Amino acid sequence: MADVRRLPRPVAEVWDWQLRARCRDTDVDVFFHPEHERGDVKQRREERAKAQCHDCPVREPCLRHALEVHEPYGVWGGMTARERNAELAARRKQTSAA
Long-range pairs of 28-35 with CB within 8 A, sequence gap ≥ 24: 30/75, 31/74, 31/75, 31/76, 32/73, 32/74, 32/75, 33/73, 33/74
Q: Which amino acid is at 82?
A: R
State mean pLDDT over 75-83. Answer: 97
Pick from 69, 59, 58: which is nearest to 8 by CA?
69
Number of domains in the chain: 1
Q: Give the end-to-end CA distance of the chain in Å, rounded to a whole number.
A: 30
- CA 84/CA 63 separation, integer angstroms: 9
State mean pLDDT over 41-48. Answer: 96
Three-class SS state of 76: strand
Question: Mean pLDDT of all residues in the chain?
Answer: 90
- CA 93/CA 80 separation, integer angstroms: 20
Assign 1 a pLDDT band (cuts: 50, 70, 90): low
pLDDT of residue 96 exceeding 70: yes
pLDDT at 57: 96
